[in-house]
Structure 1
Amino acid sequence: MKKGFILLMLAGLLLQPAANGALAKEKSSVVLADKAKSAILIERDTGKILYEKNSDEKLPPASMTKIMTMVLIMEAIDKGQLKMTDKIRTSEHAASMGGSQIFLEAGEEMTVEEMLKGIAIASGNDASVAMAEHLAGSEEAFVEKMNQKAKELGLKNTEFKNPTGLPVQNHYSTAHDMALMAKELLKYDGITRFTGTYEDYLRQDTEKKFWLVNTNRLVKFYPGVDGVKTGFTNEAKYCLTATAKKGNMRVIAVVFGAETPKDRNAQITKMLDFAFSQYETHPLFAKDQVITKVKVSKGNVKETNAVTSEPISVLAKKGEDVKDVSQEVNIKKKIAAPVKKGDRLGTLTLKRNGETIAESPLVAEKDVKPAGWWHLFKRVMGEFTKSG
């Protein structure tokens, strides 16, 4: 096992453990979501909870479901399994979706980039199902992937039945789990290019030009808001998972069950105002930053870089001074090819006074393929020659 300790002198610290999908809590007597069934406010990098109300209550998420749909799309792009320019064909089933849609016709093709616009901006149910079928072969298989990813993220109170959020029995989530999904989605820098766009067009050079207007009005009316996803059904009422960034700090606010769009936006606005007025973030590492090299046995290369899987920061209340934060890098003992880009190789741990204050996965920067027998033979002979 490889360990490294680096003393970091920081301007401030107010951080609790946030490992394995758990969110650390900040006690607060402030009432920020009195007109919502449940709500939560977290800082994105640390995962720290700044405010919550009934955040573990299972409720229908409506179209906020599409956050997980977008997570799986962005993950596939990041792993090289999908390209923005790939053409996606619309099936009869996808074209039959009701509710919010971009009016795809059976057999119509759009690029992944266009489908993402349709999902992120217009909340297209038809685009969501078309992407689901392309990635997993069927909508049902994609839903299995959604639930598998939920388990990987440590979401204990979420169950998906479709990739759209259309009403169906036993399809539920919580404000807490939605915040974690949004946290995961925001690892992918390119996603806010879609979720943060207020208006755009599809089929622009055709007679069927289609105007997209973001269902999240705060994208236009609250500075710094660039996502993530609204939701509404008669059962769920008005819901929103929003994110905003000011300076170094990005926060995520979630509201379930507001009675009107005005109430929904007002609750989110109050939470965002509270976060930015009371806290500040001190970045330590960017996503994909190289932390250490890792030896890989039986690979076509001897080692690969272990990089951060997400931005890593320290959160402080404004005006607070803290120092003496150490960094510990723990790498798995045995790592053998094949290694896929994004595979977990170890953990980066932040400590203060011997206490763990944050943990984050370190992942493989690139694929490492198994070495052929001749490659391994030459490597062994090379080592033998050196030792002689």
Structure 2
Amino acid sequence: MMMKKMLCALLCSAILAGQAFALPAMGELSAKSAALYDSSGQMLYEYNADEPLQPASVTKIMTMLLALEAVDRGEVSLDDMVTGSAYAASMGGTQIWLKEGEQLSLNDMMKAIAVGSANDCAVAVAEHLAGTEAAFVERMNARAAELGCQNTTFVNANGLDHDGQKTLTSARDLALISVELLKHPKILDYTTIWMDSIRDGAFQLANTNKMLKSYQGLIGLKTGYISEAGFCISAAAQRDGMTLIATVMAAPTKEQRTADASALLNYGFANFTKYVPDLSGLPSALPVTLGKSETVPLTADGADSVLIEKEKAGGLTTQVNLPETLDAPVQKGQKVGEVQVLSGSDVLLTVPVTAAEAVDAMGVGDLFRSFLRVVLMK
């Protein structure tokens, strides 16, 4: 998995190196910080994207990510009953007025978090998963570090100010967390809900993300607002086989947040298209000299599809750069060559080619048996 992430990062940087001066200007944004990413983790646009700012309730994308990861690992079930503690019930801001001792399924809790931005439910889920919110916050920060977030410090599960401490993150980090969250298709069962209810219909939920109705293809993910943070959003949308994520932080008004997120998404859909590199010229294996296996299979992981500037999508050529043979030993995952996609003489992207298996070098006994085989055949 780590190797695949590294390959993806190499692909993205190679593409953007060829596009840096070709794309039209983004236009002025109202927010302090913004980023536009593809769901594969490819960065398409950034504006002041590393400044640490308060995300408000967009914090909850990490809370929901950890919950769904726990479900996938089999540690909890969406049918599990989550009990509200006195502490969880004491949260202010947007909430479902959870009562101490009240039980709701994890599924309903997730719905309340994603749709209604329920601060009380976010804390209840944190306690259910880790025992205490403090322990859950440690998991949040550890997971953020694993995802490459360099400007993120969580202090709670919901994004409210907490005992004088403030959650800080950046537009880029929110995009990285959003990319990871979208790897769990179940999240769309919650983030695409416009209106629903919990408590057997007694409590109505209305999605805080009004872009679900105003932007074509929007699928989530989360809005946020407190006075100090301004208006924030992680907005994901699907069109033309692409899923894009726009993160906006510290917009002055709700309307400007929507305008900025829409502008970012429009920019991405207007200027990029999905491109699948042509790897038909890549051999399935390479010969290995003095190896226990005569050949080693090849792979080009991370080249399933990338986004490329529309104007450069036509007339591309592919060049395979591989040696005629490899010397044993060969390590699994070892880079053995590359495939380059070119527009004229410009390299738009480079796909690393690696060994799909390990091949050990022959020992003395192997060499002797090989020699005997050759002699006997003659």
TM-score (norm 1): 0.71
Query: Which structure 1 residue ranges, 4+ long, deviate > 6 Å from structure 2?
Result: 20-24, 325-328, 353-356
Verify the 8 A CA contact 2:37 2:175 in the aligned structure 1: yes
Tell me what 1:260 maps to.
253
Verify the 8 A CA contact 2:340 2:350 in the aligned structure 1: yes
Measure the CA separation in 2 of the matches of 1:357 and 1:174.
Answer: 29
Measure the CA separation in 1 of the matches of 2:190 and 2:227.
Answer: 26
Offset at residue 203 of structure 1 (A): 1.2
Measure the CA separation in 1 of the matches of 2:321 and 2:143.
Answer: 28
Tell me what 1:198 maps to.
194
Offset at residue 17 of structure 1 (A): 5.2
Tell me what 1:41 maps to.
36
Q: What's the secondary structure of 2:305's corresponding residue?
A: strand
RMSD: 3.3
Which structure: larger Rg? 2
Tell me what 1:89 maps to.
83
Verify the 8 A CA contact 1:248 1:283 in the aligned structure 2: no
Q: What's the secondary structure of 1:99's corresponding residue?
A: coil
Verify the 8 A CA contact 2:56 2:159 in the aligned structure 1: yes
Query: Whose RCO is larger (CA < 8 A, sep 6+)?
Result: 1
Tell me what 2:281 maps to.
none
Of 210, 218, 225, which residue of structure 1 is paired with 2:218? 225
Q: Structure 1 unaligned runs (5+)?
A: 4-15, 285-308, 335-344, 360-388
After superposition, the Cα gap between the structure-2 partners of 1:74 and 1:311, relative to the gap in structure 1 and judged at 3 Å, is farther
Cα-to-partner distance string for 1:313-349 (whole Å, 9 max, x where unaligned): 2212225133438799xxx979xxxxxxxxxx999x9
Of 208, 221, 235, which residue of structure 2 is paired with 1:242? 235
Q: What's the secondary structure of 1:121's corresponding residue?
A: helix
Amino acid at match of 2:272: Y
Measure the CA separation in 2 of the matches of 1:237 and 1:96.
Answer: 23
Offset at residue 171 of structure 1 (A): 1.9
Amino acid at match of 1:41: L
Please identify which structure carries the higher helix content.
Answer: 2
Q: Structure 2 unaligned runs (5+)?
A: 278-300, 323-329, 342-346, 353-378
Of 146, 169, 172, which residue of structure 1 is paired with 2:168? 172
Cα-to-partner distance string for 1:228-281 (whole Å, 9 max, x where unaligned): 111101110001110000131000001111111000001111111111111112
Verify the 8 A CA contact 2:12 2:43 in the aligned structure 1: no
After superposition, the Cα gap between the structure-2 partners of 1:218 and 1:89, relative to the gap in structure 1 and judged at 3 Å, is same
Is 1:134 the counterpart of 2:141? The answer is: no
TM-score (norm 2): 0.73
Q: What's the secondary structure of 2:233's corresponding residue?
A: strand
Measure the CA separation in 1 of the matches of 2:108 and 2:136.
Answer: 20
Amino acid at match of 1:317: E
Is 1:352 the counterpart of 2:347? The answer is: no
After superposition, the Cα gap between the structure-2 partners of 1:311 and 1:116, relative to the gap in structure 1 and judged at 3 Å, is farther
After superposition, the Cα gap between the structure-2 partners of 1:118 and 1:52, relative to the gap in structure 1 and judged at 3 Å, is same
Residue-pair matches, total: 304
Measure the CA separation in 2 of the matches of 1:191 and 1:325.
Answer: 39
Tell me what 1:302 maps to.
none
After superposition, the Cα gap between the structure-2 partners of 1:53 and 1:131, relative to the gap in structure 1 and judged at 3 Å, is same
Cα-to-partner distance string for 1:178-222 (whole Å, 9 max, x where unaligned): 0000000000011011011111111135xxx11111111011211
Measure the CA separation in 2 of the matches of 1:145 and 1:156.
Answer: 15
Amino acid at match of 1:233: I
